Amino acid sequence: MSFGRLERTPGPQPMSEINMTPLVDVMLVLVVILIITAPLLASSIKLDLPQTEAAQADAAPRSVTVVVDKSGQAFLNDQPLDLTELARTLAQTAQSNPETEVQLRADAAVPYGRIVQVMGTAQKAGLNRIGFVADPAIKPKLP
């Protein structure tokens, strides 16, 4: 019998490359989150819209969005305007396309008189198609 060292084969070398599969998975999850949240960020003005069961998203061929916040400030496409600037801008829109629909998004706390002023401004400008945007009513759960 001989006593001696046994020959050993070298063990596996450590992997020095990055595993791309988890990185790709994380990036795909981030892309999905971005796709889902992007439409929610369309309007940056926070409103508490009134609720109705008849509220449905309507696909108008061409529309402008007029927003009236709690303080009564009017916004056209997220730009704050007073009534004279709003009238001038809506008149320009009516000249280019008189069939343009005005989508009015007004906070539930806005006085009715202020909404009528904005509607009158749109009608004087020549835009008679006015749509009111509302959230659908929340139906109570039955036991």
Question: Would you say residue 105 lies in a domain?
Answer: yes
Residue-wise pLDDT tens for the chain (143 aa)? Answer: 556 666 777 777 777 788 888 889 999 999 999 888 877 766 667 777 777 776 565 444 588 889 999 888 999 888 898 989 999 999 999 898 888 899 999 988 889 899 999 999 999 999 888 988 888 777 666 66
Both tokens of residue 66? 């007029």
Question: Would you say residue 42 lies in a domain?
Answer: no
Partners of residue 129 on adjacent β-strands:
101
SS3 label, residue 2: coil
Range of the domain at 104: 51-136
Question: Would you say residue 19 lies in a domain?
Answer: no
Domain count, the chain: 1
Partners of residue 76 on adjacent β-strands:
66, 79
* CATH number of domain containing 57: 3.30.420.270
